[in-house]
Copies of this chain bind each other. A is one copy, B any other.
């Protein structure tokens, strides 16, 4: 029987999976200086743009399950980066607000993506390819959501 479709090199899923982990790995030393993990950094990027979001709002933005977000936010709260407050308007909701410490990290984090992209410049990965990659991934994400 033919099994070509089961060959690892024939998969699209595997390079996405491998690239994702390698990117996270590449971020790790840069984020370690800020006392952050990669998922924590993603949460902060969301909150730096839009403070006072609900747990569900952050989960939707990051396309993560709320049962992943809740423990993540609790750890960040323990680190003094944000505060969790039950909404008085709708008691089902928990509103997440940055602390001064969480806000101030934004300044230090500003160079992180620049440093990360430095690893790609000067390579044979063109800006056009990166742009096209992102657009195709966004289409794929829409299909899979």
List the interface of chain A (C-beta within 8 A of B). 1, 3, 5-8, 10-27, 42, 45-46, 48-49, 61-64, 106-107, 109-110, 112-114, 116, 119-120, 123-125, 129-130, 132-134, 136-141, 143-145
Copies of this subunit: 2
Interface residue SS majority, chain A: helix
Q: A23-B17, A143-B125 are in contact. Are A133 and B12 (CB under 8 A)?
A: yes
Chain B neighbourhood of A48, CB < 8 A: 3, 6
Top 10 nearest A-B pairs by Cβ distance? A20-B20, A22-B144, A15-B137, A133-B136, A18-B63, A5-B113, A129-B136, A13-B23, A19-B137, A16-B20
Q: A6-B106, A106-B3 are in contact. Are A144 and B19 (CB under 8 A)?
A: yes
Candidates B7, B25, B129; contact of A139 at CB < 8 Å: B129
A119 pairs with B138, CB closer than 8 A: no
B143 pairs with A137, CB closer than 8 A: no
- Closest Cβ of chain B to A144, distance in Å, is 4
Candidates B42, B133, B137; contact of A8 at CB < 8 Å: B42
